[in-house]
Structure 1
C-alpha cells in the first residue's frame, strides 16, 4: 500500500502534513495524540468549506468594508440634510451609519489586515496598549450598531402603542436618547481595559495578543447575549406586536373607522420592520452557532487520549468553521442598510434627496420631498397628500 503512511505503528492514509500547523514540523507524540488519523481525515473532508470561508473572510470582507464605508457615508450625508434631520427616525439612522462605519473599519478591516499580514499582527502583539484599545473599540462599535437598532425599534413600538404621547416626542429628545444609549454602551465596553477572555480565536485567523489583563473566559457568554440573543429576541417580540398593530390598522381603514396610526406612521414603521428583520436574519444564525459552540466546548471538553476525544474535536472543528461562515453574513448587516433605504417604498424622500445630491434628474413626484418639511417621525412620506392629511400644527409625529 504505497499511499499508506505509517505513523507510530499505525496505518493512516493522511500524513501530518495535511494539518497546516504541523507542516514541516517534527511531529511529537503529543501532536500525534491531538491529531489522530480520524481527526486528520475529517480535516481533509472539511477543507473545502475552510477554503471557502477563508476566501469570504479575506476578499469578501475587504469588498464589504469598502462598499459599506462608502454607502454608509453617503447615507449619512443624505440623512443629515436640513430637511431630513428633522425626523426622529432619520436621527437614528444617521447615528447607525456612523457606528456601522466604525465597526467596518476597526473590527473587520483591521481583522483582515491582521489575518493576512504577520508584520501587522506583530505590531499589535508587541503593544498591549494597542491590543487593549483595539479590543475596546471593536466591542464598542459592534454593540453601538446593535443597540441603536434596538432603541429605534423600542421608539417605534412606543409610538404605536401610545400614539397620543408620541406627539410630544421631538428630535431633541431622540438625540438625548441616542447620547444616553451611546454612553451606556461605552461604559460597558470599557471593561475590556481590565478584562480579557475571548480574543484568542479570531475568525480572521490571527494570533491573539499576550496580555496582563485578568483572564475571564466566561465573559464571552455575556458578549454573545448582548450582541445576539438579547437584541434579536427583543426585536422579534416588538416586531411581532407592531405587525399585529399594522394588521389591525389595516382592518380599521378598510372598515372606514378611526385608526391609531396615520399612513405616514405606518410607512415609517414598515421601514423599521424591514431594517430590523434584516438584522435578525443576519445575526441570529451566528448567535445560534456561537451558543452551540460555547455549550459544546464548555461541557464536552476532554483531553487527548480520552475515548470521546475524537468526537469532541471533530464537532469543535465543525462548529468553528460554521461559525466563521455565518460571521461573513453577519458582517453584511453593517453594510447593506443603504440598499434597504433605496428599496423601501417608504423612502421616497431619501431617494429624492439622494438624486439631488448626486446631481441626477429627479422624478416629478419626488421634487416636493427635497423642500423643507415640518418635523415628523416618519422616514419618508410617500405623497404630499399624506403630509397634508397627517401633519397637524405643533405635532412632531408624521
Structure 2
C-alpha cells in the first residue's frame, strides 16, 4: 500500500514536471513567434484589401501617364513655353511620388519588405523625399496658375516671369525652399532600438531594429504630430488651393470681361472670339482642377491633424480611402492637365504618327496665340 502510494506520487510528480516543462516551452515559443511577428509584420494603419489592388493599378497607370506627359511636354513646340515647362517638371515629380509611395506600399504588402526599416538612412531619406515631393507637386500646380494669371494680365512682368529660363530658376528655388522646410526629418526621424527575442529556455537574442517613427523624443513627437501637421495642411493643400482659386478668378475676369470690352477691329474680333471661347473652356477646367485638387488631397492632411496621437490603426478604412484619393491625384494629373490641352493632344498625335502633318501644323498656329494664357 505504501509502495503503491509512493509510486503513484512519483508518477504524479513526473507528469506535473512534464506539463510544466511543456507549458514553459510553449510559452517561449509563443513569445518568440510574437516578437517575430512584431518585427516582420508591416504597419496596420491601412486596409490591404483596398490598398493592394489600388497600388498595382495606380502605379501602372501613373507610370504610363506621367512618362507620356513628360515626353509630350518636352517636345520642341511646347518646351519653349513656361507653362508646359512646369508641367514637364510636374510629370517627373508625380512619377517620383507614386514610386516612393505606391512602390513602398507594394513591397510592404506583397513581400513584407519595409525599406524604411532596412537602415536608419533609408528611413530618414525615404520619409524626407515622400514629404518633399508631394509638397513640390502641389506648388508646381500653384506656379502654373500664377504663370497663367500673369501671362494674361501683367504684360511687363510676363516678359520676365513667363519664360522657360525663369521656369527653370523658379523650379530650382522651390526645390531648395521645400527641402529646407522638411529638413528636420533628416535629423530627427527614426531610431535604433534593441529588441529581445527568446530562442529557448534561458537563451535570448538581442537584435537591433530600425523603428521609423517620429516618436524619437517627446519634443519632436509633439512637434511632428501637431505643429508640423498644421504646416503640412497649409503648405500642401490650403495655401496652394487659395492661390489657385485667386489666379483662376483673375484669368476668368480677364477672359470673360476684359477682352469682351476691348475695342478691336472686326478681323481681330473674329480671331479673338475663337481663341477666347477656347480660353474660357480652359478657365472652367482650371476651376475644376482646383476643386479636384482640394477634394482629393484635403482628407489625408485633415486626418493627420484630427486623428488621436499614435492611434492611426483605429482609422484603417479612412486612412485607406485618403491614400487612394491622394495618389490618384498624382497618378491622374496627366488626364486633367494633358488631355484638356489642345496642344497636348496635337503633339501626342504627332508623336504617334496619327493625322496629317500639315493639318497638325495649322492647328498649332491656331492655338499658338493663346499658348501663354492657358493650356
Q: Same fold (TM over 0.5)?
A: yes
1:197–1:220 CA contact under 8 A, matched in 2: no
1:284 maps to 298
Shift of 1:92: 0.8
Which of 69, 76, 83 is the equivalent residue of 1:75? Answer: 69
Do structure 1's residue 125 and structure 2's residue 117 form an aligned pair?
yes
Aligned mates of 1:248, 1:348 — CA distance in 2: 21
Do structure 1's residue 168 and structure 2's residue 164 form an aligned pair?
no
Aligned length: 302
Deviating above 6 A after TM superposition, structure 1's stretches of 4 or more consecutive aligned residues are none
1:155 maps to 147
1:227-282 CA-partner distances (Å, limit 9, x unpaired): 443343223333433343314641344455589xx848766655544444322121
Q: 5+ residue gaps in structure 2? A: 1-28, 32-43, 192-208, 270-274
Shift of 1:290: 2.6
1:33 maps to none
1:353–1:369 CA contact under 8 A, matched in 2: no
Which of 228, 241, 244 is the equivalent residue of 2:249? Answer: 244
1:59-80 CA-partner distances (Å, limit 9, x unpaired): 1112101110111010000000
1:235 maps to 240
Aligned mates of 1:71, 1:151 — CA distance in 2: 21
User: TM-score with structure 2 length normalisation?
Assistant: 0.68
Change (3 A) 1:341 1:209: same
**Superposed, which structure 2 residues align to 1:236-275 within 5 Å?**
236-245=241-250, 246-247=252-253, 249-255=255-261, 257=263, 263=276, 272-275=286-289
Q: Could you say what secondary structure the match of 1:334 adopts?
A: helix
Shift of 1:160: 4.9
Change (3 A) 1:61 1:362: farther
1:198-252 CA-partner distances (Å, limit 9, x unpaired): 9xxxxxxxxx932698442222445434444334322333343334331464134
Do structure 1's residue 113 and structure 2's residue 94 form an aligned pair?
no
1:323 maps to 319
2:353 maps to 359
Which gives a bigger RCO, structure 1 or 2 (Cα 8 Å, sep 6+)?
2
1:34 maps to none
**Superposed, which structure 2 residues align to 1:1-398 within 5 Å?**
53-118=47-112, 120-121=113-114, 124-160=116-152, 162-169=154-161, 170-196=163-189, 209-210=210-211, 214-215=216-217, 216-217=220-221, 218-245=223-250, 246-247=252-253, 249-255=255-261, 257=263, 263=276, 272-293=286-307, 297-298=308-309, 319-344=315-340, 347-362=341-356, 366-369=360-363, 383-384=366-367, 387=369
Aligned mates of 2:363, 2:190 — CA distance in 1: 50
1:166-185 CA-partner distances (Å, limit 9, x unpaired): 23332111111111101222
Change (3 A) 1:193 1:271: same
Q: Could you say what secondary structure the match of 1:153 adopts?
A: helix
Structure 1 or 2: larger helix share?
Answer: 2
Aligned mates of 1:105, 1:140 — CA distance in 2: 14
Q: 5+ residue gaps in structure 1? A: 1-23, 27-49, 199-207, 302-312, 374-382
Bigger radius of gyration: 2
1:306 maps to none
57-66 vs 279-288, which moves further: 279-288
2:142–2:241 CA contact under 8 A, matched in 1: no
